[in-house]
Structure 1
Amino acid sequence: MTLEAEPETRQAPLVLLAAGGTGGHLFPAEALAERLAARGLRVALATDGRAAAYAGYFPAENIFVIPSATPSRRSLPVAIKAAVTLGRGIWRARALVRRIRPAVTVGFGGYPSVPPLLGASFNAIPTVIHEQNAVLGRANRFLAPRATAIATGFANVGGLHDGLRGKATQTGNPVRPAVLAAAATAFSPVPAGGTLRLLVTGGSQGARVMSDIVPPAIERLSADERGRLAIVQQARDEDLERVRETYARLGVAAEVAAFFKDLPERMAQAHLVIGRAGASTVAELAVIGRPSILVPLPGALDQDQAANAATLGKIEAATVITQADFTPERLARELSEALARPERLTRAAEAAKSAGIPDSAERLADLVIRIGRLESALETRR
């Protein structure tokens, strides 16, 4: 059955979301899209070619692919090529915005958001940028002076100078419905002498460092300590066999896979999470309320993961270890401490939960509606 579109005069206002590159940008955009649609607004997505391949599930009436590229400071030819691609993207986005006339455009960082946000700005459309990290990223830093409003995932964001702070509102980082469902599971303290459930993640691709460090750390524990562990670990395809073989040799109960569809539920079942410190991971740890050992990705230009991890480290919800210090010996000491003093995990879980913003998607939707001046339009449709 084909549904006829509403007449132009009766159509709900349109919000254009701009996100691409990684799931870290798409996940919060998806959460916002669902909340805007629930309030009666139409949603479209502008993304790049990489994200378009797996954005088919995105709750939008249209998905537009806009050329984008990330400038490089290391290679002049690559930088020139990126600039040309971005120029084509801005030209196409400007024409797209003029054609579909969104009431407001929302960008989620990364260079795929640059052409749509500039296209909106050139057409005098209000814009909102959302910064997931605790440091303003390069793309958002470029867009911030033109943006109508800036939404932030964290209370304090590095790179926001005084001239921009008046535009900023902390909304938190929107999380997926599966994360909100998992957050309903209360933390279950480790019973005295009982099993500690350990979840090891490494981002969407499974960090190699986790496969290199965690199994040797487990091997350094005593036989009694190893017997008290139940491990769920994400690993790259090429690392699966060696990680499984190590745990099997040690007699450790372990489930190792390249991907877990139910990762939020696994996080809720864990007593301790070891992983990177991407904005989505930190937000999910806080909303669900789980203690963690965080190893920020080194070498990042903005050191955004280090800043993200510090927000949980400061309130003793996480132990933050640089990758240089993330050795089997150091991790083994941390795990021994967790097994010997499990009450610390309970306190860390409570601290993490206190930092969570489960209604962040609603807060961001409120801001978008206010900036787009959509309140009256929504009232007339009720």
Structure 2
Amino acid sequence: MEGKTKGVIMLSAGGTGGHLFPAEALAHELKGRGYTPVLVTDKRAERFTAGFPAGGIHVVPSATLASKNPVAVLRTAWTLFRGYRQSAKLIRQIRPLAAIGFGGYPTLPPMVAATAAGVPGIVHEQNAILGRANRLLASRVQLIATGFRQVGKAADTPTLETGNPVRPMVSAVKDAAYPKRKASDRLRLVIFGGSQGARFFSEALPPALGKLSDAQRGRFSILQQAREEDEADLRKAYAGLGIEAEIAPFFANMPEEISKAHFVIARAGASSITELAVIGRPSLLVPLPGSLDGDQAANAIAMAEAEGAYVVKQAELDADRLAGFLQLALDEPEKLAGMAANAKKTGIADAARRLADCAECVISGGDITALKF
């Protein structure tokens, strides 16, 4: 723990990039204000916490309620209870001024333990639909902070749109101008599927590009995130099409790559859309089918309505239709530049500041409903 500090603020997030990235962004803001952020998460988080400015990172037992099998439910309940006991012990040790949860079932043990101990709490919902863990916590906290305007109310807890906090590496490129391009110039195409990758894109892009002419394919420069098990086949497919492509399971500085893109193809996870909006890049969004509560489809609504992105269901995106979007991207640079500007208008670049203001408000016992952004 750090020496001179205003006090500890506990951040709790499920161990995926979608939950951890906004928590990391808030941690940087809180540290800059003199607080010590402490992260409580699950064992999946190791991949994403290298740049986390925490006074401590604590892994507690956790599980997701994903099965109706009685044995599985009991096993999950026992794991969550173990996580609660461990979290309660941690709360007594660090004595946080506030507890802020960023969603995912791993937030349940630490957030329940903190609020049971009288620690004021906030849950932050990154998606346009309130997630299951946050719904369970809603009545226990002082505020539900949201990344999107259309998130519905839960219990009688005040709700406030703060936007989704973005990491310093996103803020570093938020003012990067959209790269100018003529219709005859090469097009930088960036494709990613969130922190877990997207097999669909690895399977869909080569056939769609194959429908274009050799000359058209030669005008693409592609950077694509792909699952490790799909990487070799994708490289082979692009090589056979004569396409220059950089492929990897994970890119450490994806925001910088987004800033260099003329066009992006992505899933519609909250972090992906937030970064596209704050940086301001045109995109084709393909919501993940079967995402919990249909949150990805809901996430994409604001960007589509602002004409900053095309949104297409995966089931409706065959090779011919995808080839049409690729053709449009090549031939209409002015259209893409306009979409980039529209996307930028939907971004909230100071969400971390807003959420930190909320944290200080609940710590001081102030009127959270008086906050205006």
Paired amino acid for 2:15: G
- What SS class does the counterpart of residue 129 from structure 1 fall into? strand
Contact 1:13 1:374 in 2 (8 A): no
Contact 1:52 1:65 in 2 (8 A): no
- Separation of aligned partners in 2, 1:368 and 1:345: 38
Residue 254 (structure 2) aligned to one of 259, 263, 273? 263
Residue 15 of structure 2 corresponds to residue 21 of structure 1: yes
Q: Which residue of 2 aligns with 1:152?
A: 146
- Separation of aligned partners in 1, 2:121 and 2:58: 18
Contact 1:106 1:129 in 2 (8 A): yes
Contact 1:189 1:343 in 2 (8 A): no
Residue 4 to residue 107, structure 1, CA distance change in 2 (3 Å): closer
Q: Normalized against structure 1, the TM-score is what?
A: 0.91
Paired amino acid for 2:66: S
Tell me how far 1:23 sits from its aligned partner.
Answer: 1.5
Tell me how far 1:221 sits from its aligned partner.
Answer: 0.9
- Separation of aligned partners in 1, 2:44 and 2:221: 36
- What SS class does the counterpart of residue 183 from structure 1 fall into? coil
Q: Which residue of 1 aligns with 2:109?
A: 115
Structure-to-structure mapping, 1:28-39, within 5 angstroms: 28-39=22-33
The CA RMSD over aligned residues, in Å, is: 1.9
- What SS class does the counterpart of residue 300 from structure 2 fall into? helix
- Separation of aligned partners in 1, 2:343 and 2:111: 34
Residue 182 to residue 54, structure 1, CA distance change in 2 (3 Å): closer
Residue 40 (structure 2) aligned to one of 34, 41, 46? 46
Residue 317 (structure 1) aligned to one of 297, 308, 313? 308
Tell me how far 1:59 sits from its aligned partner.
Answer: 1.4
Residue 191 to residue 374, structure 1, CA distance change in 2 (3 Å): farther
- Separation of aligned partners in 2, 1:148 and 1:50: 28
Structure-to-structure mapping, 1:110-259, within 5 angstroms: 110-158=104-152, 160-161=153-154, 163-164=155-156, 167-259=158-250
Paired amino acid for 1:302: D
Q: Which residue of 1 aligns with 2:369?
A: none
Q: Deviations over 1:146-197 (max 9, x none)?
A: 1111110111114x25x54x61111111111111112121102331322221
Structure-to-structure mapping, 1:279-298, within 5 angstroms: 279-298=270-289
Contact 2:2 2:36 in 1 (8 A): no
- What SS class does the counterpart of residue 90 from structure 1 fall into? helix
Residue 336 to residue 125, structure 1, CA distance change in 2 (3 Å): same
Contact 2:21 2:166 in 1 (8 A): yes
Paired amino acid for 2:102: F
Tell me how far 1:54 sits from its aligned partner.
Answer: 5.3
Contact 1:200 1:232 in 2 (8 A): yes
Tell me how far 1:74 sits from its aligned partner.
Answer: 3.2
Tell me how far 1:235 sits from its aligned partner.
Answer: 1.5
Which structure 2 residue ranges, 5 or more long, are not aligned? 367-373
Give the number of the structure whose alpha-carbon radius of gyration is greater: 1
Which structure 1 residue ranges, 5 or more long, are not aligned? 376-382
Residue 68 (structure 1) aligned to one of 62, 67, 73? 62
Residue 78 of structure 2 corresponds to residue 87 of structure 1: no
Tell me how far 1:49 sits from its aligned partner.
Answer: 2.6
Q: Deviations over 1:71-113 (max 9, x none)?
A: 1343221111111111222233233223322111100001111
Runs of 4+ in 1 over 4 A off after TM superposition: none
Residue 332 to residue 243, structure 1, CA distance change in 2 (3 Å): same
- Separation of aligned partners in 1, 2:17 and 2:60: 17
Q: Deviations over 1:18-37 (max 9, x none)?
A: 11321211111111111111
Residue 57 to residue 287, structure 1, CA distance change in 2 (3 Å): closer
Contact 2:13 2:19 in 1 (8 A): yes
Residue 63 to residue 340, structure 1, CA distance change in 2 (3 Å): closer
Identity over the aligned pairs, expressed in percent?
49
Q: Which residue of 2 aligns with 1:368?
A: 359
Q: Which residue of 2 aligns with 1:97?
A: 91
- Separation of aligned partners in 1, 2:332 and 2:37: 49
- Separation of aligned partners in 1, 2:48 and 2:260: 28
Q: Normalized against structure 2, the TM-score is what?
A: 0.93
Contact 2:218 2:243 in 1 (8 A): yes
Paired amino acid for 1:236: R
Residue 64 to residue 253, structure 1, CA distance change in 2 (3 Å): closer
Q: Which residue of 2 aligns with 1:379?
A: none
Residue 196 to residue 55, structure 1, CA distance change in 2 (3 Å): closer
